[in-house]
Structure 1
Amino acid sequence: MATIEECRAALEKLSDSMSGAEGDVREAAALDRTVSCRITDLDVTFVGRLGGGRIEVDDTVEGPPPTRAQIRLALTGDDLVALVDGDLHFAKAWGSGRVKLEAGLFDLFRLRKLL
């Protein structure tokens, strides 16, 4: 089972990848939105902001997020690490229910370019 530190490192790696992206991926990552990433097996949530092509984690809270973020992701720590490392395909994981992504319709259309 992935640790909180490994999950934070995976989010930082994802943020680094997004900030270096080009084209459609860069455009999709340019959203300015609040985000939460709930790690279900650790019962923690990383909360922060997507802005300037990066994910900035502001806090880690126990349980569900204290407020509803505009973009919400929920998955296990192992799945987060596997997604970021390229060992798990997002669309398959989302389709099977291993990963839950919630956002407004406009944001979902833009985020699909990241997949």
Structure 2
Amino acid sequence: MATIEECRTALEKLSDTMRGAEGDVRAAAAMDRSVSCLITDLDVTFVGLLSGGRIEVHRTLTGPPAESAQIRLAMTGDDLVALVEGELHFARAWGSGRVRLEASLFDLFRLRKLL
């Protein structure tokens, strides 16, 4: 089972990858949105912002956040690490329910270029 620090490191790596992207992927990442990532097996949520093509984690909370972010992810820590390492395909994980993504329809259309 992935630790909180391994999950934080995975989010930082994802953020670095997004910032270094080009073309349509870079444009999709250039949104300004609140973001939360619930790590279900650790019962921890990383809360922050997607801004300037990066995910900036501002807080780590126990359990789900009280306020709903504009982009919400939920998955196990192992799945987060596997996604970032390229060992788990996002579309398959999302389709099978291993990863939950909730956002507005507009944001989902933009995010699909990242996924």
Tell me the TM-score range normalised by the shorter chain.
over 0.9
User: So what's the TM-score if we normalise by structure 1?
Assistant: 0.99
Amino acid at match of 2:20: G
Question: In the alignment, which residue of structure 2 is the partner of 1:54?
Answer: 54
1:66 Cα deviation after fit: 2.0
% identity of equivalent residues = 81
**1:34 and 2:40 are equivalent in the alignment:** no
What are the ranges of 5 or more consecutive residues in structure 1 without an aligned counterpart? none
Question: In the alignment, which residue of structure 1 is the partner of 2:45?
Answer: 45
Report runs of 4+ in structure 1 exceeding 6 Å deviation: none
Alignment partner of 2:113: what SS? helix
d(CA) in 2 for partners of 1:4 and 1:49?
19
What are the ranges of 5 or more consecutive residues in structure 2 without an aligned counterpart? none
d(CA) in 2 for partners of 1:112 and 1:65?
24
**1:96 and 2:91 are equivalent in the alignment:** no
User: So what's the TM-score if we normalise by structure 2?
Assistant: 0.99
Deviations 1:31-89 (A, max 9, x none): 10000000000000000000000000000000001210000000000000000000000
RMSD: 0.3
d(CA) in 2 for partners of 1:85 and 1:74?
17
